[in-house]
Amino acid sequence: MVTRWSKILLTAAIALFATLVAFGNVTDYGTNFEFVQHVLRMDTLFPDTTIRYRRIEAPAAHHTAYLFIIFLEALTAALCWFGAWKMYWARHAAALAFNRSKGIAIAGLTLGFLVWQVGFMSIGGEWFGMWMSSQWNGVPSAFRFLVTIGIVLVFVTMRDGELGDSA
C-alpha cells in the first residue's frame, strides 16, 4: 500500500509543480514572456554564432509560442491531477485495476517530460541556442524538471502487485 500511496503522491507533486508553473506564467505573463521573446529572437547569443538565421522576430509568433507553452504546462497539470485522483480511487483495488488506473497519470507525466525535454532543451536549447545566453538560459532548469518528472514516470509505470504481496 505504501508504494501505491507513493505513486499517487509523487504524481500529485508533479501536478502541483506544473500548476504553479502555469499559474506563474499566466499571472506574471510579461516577465516570462520576455524570456520566450529573447530565446526566439536569439538576441543574447554568442556574438559570432552562425545560427541566427533561425530567429523568429514576429511578436505574434512569440505570443503564440508562449501561450502554447502555458497550455501544455496546464494540460500536464490537469492530466497529473486527474491521474493522481484515478490512482487514489483505485488504491484498494486489485493490482490489475490499479495498474489500469495509471494511464492518465502516465500521459500527464509523459507530456511534462516532453514539454521540458523537447520544448525547452531541444527546441529552445539547441535549435534557438538558448544554452549560449548567459541571461536567458533555461536549459539547467529544464533539465532538473525533466529528470524529476522522468524519475516519477519510471516509478509510476512500474507494475504493482496485489496488496499484501511481500515483494
- pLDDT tens per residue across span 49-89: 999 999 999 999 999 999 999 999 999 999 999 999 999 99
For 1-16, write each residue's pLDDT tens digit.
Answer: 899 999 999 999 999 9
Does some domain include residue 167?
no
Range of the domain at 116: 2-157
Average pLDDT over residues 116-126: 97
Does some domain include residue 115?
yes
Number of Cβ within a 10 Å radius of residue 81: 20
Q: Which three cell numbers stand for residue 92?
A: 484498494
pTM: 0.93
Backbone phi and psi for residue 55, each to the nearest 5 degrees, phi listed first: -60, 155
Does some domain include residue 164?
no
Rounded-to-integer distance, Cα 55 and Cα 72, Å: 22
In order of 62, 68, 119, the CA distances from 59 in angstroms are 5, 14, 19
